[in-house]
Amino acid sequence: MASKSVSSLPSPEDIYQSILPNGITVLARANFNSPAVNISGYLSGGSIFETDEKLGLAGFVSSMLMRGTQRYTFDSIYNELETVGASLGFDSGVHNASFGGRSLVEDLPRLLNLLAESLFHPTFPKAEVERLRTQILTGLALREQDTSNMADMLFERHLYPDHPYGKPTDGYVETIQSITRKDLAAFHRFNYGPRGMVIGIVGAIQPKKAVEAVAKALGGWSVSGQKEPPALPPLKPFRKMIRKHHRIEGKSQSDLVVGTLGPYRKNPDFMAVSLANSVLGQFGMMGRIGHVVRERSGLAYYAYSSLNAGTGPGSWEVSAGVNPKNLNKALELIDVELRGFVKSGVTKQELVDSQANYIGRLPLSFESNGGMVSAILNIHRYQLGMDYYQRYEGLVRSVTRDDVVEAARRYINPDRMVIATAGP
């Protein structure tokens, strides 16, 4: 059936890039298919700035930004947004604070104005600090009961010992209780700022106009003494099998994570590892792991592998949720599968299948403004080149079976994995 549409892949010709005098990078691409616009971006202010005594501070700050500013109260900020069906939110990870929002295009100036106001002038009102603290503590109490969250947390703690990646970005009860209003204001004062900030805009607006709108709202921001984020500390490699269990009584399902370190996103072997992961625990009904644990043995509703690659050393992990009495059986099946995987690699057919999947699914990830804006931010963040999606098919096809098995062996040593489980 002949297609009538043009290619939707982003390219250097249609991604408009501009750096404002204060250092903010703006990336814009037009999409006039619906009268809406999506913004997303990141800036300095991640948990990498935290001390161990104040874990959760970065997340606390990002969640406070819209809870009161010089010109708006918590309620009036959200009233501005919700009245026009717009949304805006902040979050934070290890390296950065991040934000995302959307609105009808007619309300973009309003959205950008609230973004600027929240970033420039948060006032951390005392009552709101306490209200949010209660909400965070309730979230931590729920986390404590969540087998999946607790297995993940345990896994990260042992994969990244004494490293920012091994610490929960939402903190612990004691650290959240110790955070003061002063801590929040100081963290914002010195760690937030325009240097290093990137904002992407995709929607029903000409890219140049989008940049003008951002410049109007955010171009005047300057922060004296904005701190440089500290470098990531070196990672202590683990030299033996580590197995840890977190007990949560009264649960009908246990969660498991088996994994190891993975590549940085910018590593040249990233695509080979990514395709290896697809065969291992993604392709079709969750790859080989899904086939063995779910399809053949009926042990789990979900069983898959995932690759997390970003600015620093990534992780490559297998996850599943199983009946507590089947926990060891599932771990054995995963172990056998990993051993076979590093020994024999992938078949020609498996590689070709995953390559075809990667190439074929590309337009699907650009279906919405949200998908497009995150794709553009990613290629910028990891310096993959604005022509990355034009070159993408070639990059995928150039990976060989040898590349895949070598990549798997480089990262996975079945005798040296971190196994974290949570449940009864």
Partner 1 sequence: MSKSITQVTLKNGMKVMLKEIHTAPIISSWIWYKVGSRDEPTGKTGISHWTEHMMFKGTKKFPNGVLDKAISREGGRWNASTSRDSTRYYETMPAAKIDLALRLEADRMTKSIFEPKEVASERTVIISEREGSENEPMFQLSESMLHASFRVHPYQHEIIGDMADLHSITREDLYSHYQTYYIPNNAVLSLAGDFDTKVMIKRVRELFEKIPAGNVPPRLSRPEPERKGEVRLTVEGPGETVFTQVAYPFPNATHEDYFPLQVLESLLNGASGLSYKTCRLYRALVDKGVVVDISGWSESTIDPFLYRFVMIHRPNTKPEQAIQILDAEIQKLQDTPAPAAEIHRAVKQARAVFAYGSENITNQAFWMGYTSMISDYSFYTSYLDNLAKVTPKDVQRVAQKYFQPNKRVVGSYIPTGRAS
Among 11, 174, 206, 301, binds partner 1 (CB under 8 A): 301
What backbone torsions phi and psi does residue 180 show, to the nearest 5 degrees?
-105, 170
Cα within 13 Å of Cα(50), Cβ side? 34
Question: Residue 85 in 3-state DSSP?
Answer: coil
CB neighbour list of residue 79: distance below 8 Å, 6 or more residues apart: none
Minimum CB–partner distance for residue 399 and partner 1 (Å): 16
Binding mask 56-95 for partner 1 (x = CB under 8 A): ------------------xx--xx-xxxxxxx-x------
Give me the torsion for CA of 394, 202, 265, 116, rounded to 10°.
Answer: 160
Nearer to partner 1, 163 or 294 (CB): 294
Exposed, middle or buried by CB within 10 Å (0-12, 13-18, 19+), for 227? middle
Nearer to partner 1, 330 or 417 (CB): 330
Are residues 58 and 46 in contact, defined by beta-carbon separation less than 8 angstroms?
yes
Nearer to partner 1, 102 or 188 (CB): 102
Stretch that binds partner 1, among 41-49, 180-188, 305-313, 358-366 (CB under 8 A): 358-366
Q: Which two tokens stand for residue 144?
A: 């404590």
Asked if 321 touches partner 1 (CB under 8 A), the answer is yes
Minimum CB–partner distance for residue 397 and partner 1 (Å): 14
Nearer to partner 1, 81 or 377 (CB): 81
Nearer to partner 1, 81 or 97 (CB): 81
Among 232, 359, 386, 395, binds partner 1 (CB under 8 A): 359
Among 23, 166, 196, 363, binds partner 1 (CB under 8 A): 363
Element (H, E) at 103: strand 96-104
Asked if 35 touches partner 1 (CB under 8 A), the answer is yes
Residues 204-263 that bind partner 1 (CB under 8 A): 246-253
Minimum CB–partner distance for residue 9 and partner 1 (Å): 10
Minimum CB–partner distance for residue 84 and partner 1 (Å): 6
Minimum CB–partner distance for residue 92 and partner 1 (Å): 18
Asked if 131 touches partner 1 (CB under 8 A), the answer is yes
Residues 144-163 that bind partner 1 (CB under 8 A): 144-147
Minimum CB–partner distance for residue 405 and partner 1 (Å): 21
Minimum CB–partner distance for residue 263 and partner 1 (Å): 23
Dihedral sign from CA coordinates of 286, 292, 294, 295? positive
Minimum CB–partner distance for residue 75 and partner 1 (Å): 6
Asked if 103 touches partner 1 (CB under 8 A), the answer is yes
Are residues 57 and 187 in contact, defined by beta-carbon separation less than 8 angstroms?
yes
Asked if 298 touches partner 1 (CB under 8 A), the answer is yes
Among 7, 11, 180, 222, binds partner 1 (CB under 8 A): 7
Give me the torsion for CA of 120, 232, 392, 375, rounded to 10°.
Answer: -20
What backbone torsions phi and psi does residue 52 show, to the nearest 5 degrees?
-60, -30
CA distance 197 to 23: 7
CA angle 43, 47, 48 (to 5 degrees): 90
CA distance 293 to 256: 12
Give the CA diameter of the chain: 63
Minimum CB–partner distance for residue 266 and partner 1 (Å): 25
CA distance 382 to 310: 8
Q: Which two tokens stand for residue 419?
A: 């196994």
Question: Which DSSP state fits 93?
Answer: -
Residues 338-357 that bind partner 1 (CB under 8 A): 353, 356-357
Size of the site for partner 1 (CB under 8 A): 76
CB neighbour list of residue 55: distance below 8 Å, 6 or more residues apart: 47, 167, 168, 169, 171, 172, 175
Are residues 342 and 159 in contact, defined by beta-carbon separation less than 8 angstroms?
no
Stretch that binds partner 1, among 131-139, 233-241, 379-387, 400-408 (CB under 8 A): 131-139
Minimum CB–partner distance for residue 400 and partner 1 (Å): 19
Minimum CB–partner distance for residue 129 and partner 1 (Å): 12
Nearer to partner 1, 26 or 88 (CB): 88
Dihedral sign from CA coordinates of 397, 399, 405, 409? negative
Stretch that binds partner 1, among 48-56, 136-144, 190-198, 413-421 (CB under 8 A): 136-144
Asked if 174 touches partner 1 (CB under 8 A), the answer is no
